[in-house]
Structure 1
């Protein structure tokens, strides 16, 4: 078994038991329907097709939102460097969709600060750091919105 914590090992074991039980239940049902020999070949159609890592990665990379996901990750990673410690400890880049970046403020007071005083500065810093990005607009929201 892989090197997991005790809780993870318990969960992993439980999932394996459930999977075995499910396979046995499906197998029994198929034996009733098709008989012993044919049930062995029929069970394959009840489980997902094996997919290579290459296929999965190519689907992820070809996803139209991949570049936005990648850009959001870069912005999140460099957030403190971009905006400074004080702003970064009271806000975070939350999402990026259709070129619209949403930044979440810690509370309403910080939301007002970001919109009033820091909005243009943040926008300028992000746009200069990520020149080739297709950012259109930056929105500020309060936590929980």
Structure 2
């Protein structure tokens, strides 16, 4: 008994169909033996899930969701910087906003964890603009 991988099997089937039907009809008949088409978004999600660690995917998700989580006004004065372990770092445009965001810390942590459906954030760290480049 001979075992073939999918590619080898498809090559054999393709050759047989070309022999039986000719080149033009063989390509149409071959579509029956190929997997059904899938949405690009579905394939991209699977690829990202395989290539990136969960923490990186969570960080990308938070970067996109940040304006929704804090609202328009606070999103205008803050930027999501990163996620490391369970610490989310946010950059704010002015030191006055540090006080505002610190007052909202518990609410924001709850919103982040609720939106991501897991406890990915245990601490929020707020830094002034340019603070991420300082040692």
Asked if the contact 2:112/2:121 (under 8 Å) is kept, the reply is no
Tell me how large the CA RMSD over aligned residues is.
2.3
SS in 2 for 1:102: strand
The answer to whether 1:138 aligns with 2:134 is: no
The alpha-carbon deviation at position 70 of structure 1 amounts to: 0.9
Look up the match of 1:105: 92
TM-score, with structure 2 as normaliser: 0.55
* Residues 111 and 100 of structure 1, relative CA distance in 2, 3 Å threshold: same
Count of matched residue pairs: 86
* Residues 70 and 80 of structure 1, relative CA distance in 2, 3 Å threshold: same
Look up the match of 1:83: 70
TM-score, with structure 1 as normaliser: 0.52
Deviation >4 Å, runs of 4+: none
SS in 2 for 1:69: helix
- For structure 2, list consecutive stretches of 5 or more residues without a partner in the other structure: 1-46
- For structure 1, list consecutive stretches of 5 or more residues without a partner in the other structure: 1-57
Asked if the contact 2:109/2:122 (under 8 Å) is kept, the reply is no
Asked if the contact 1:68/1:96 (under 8 Å) is kept, the reply is yes
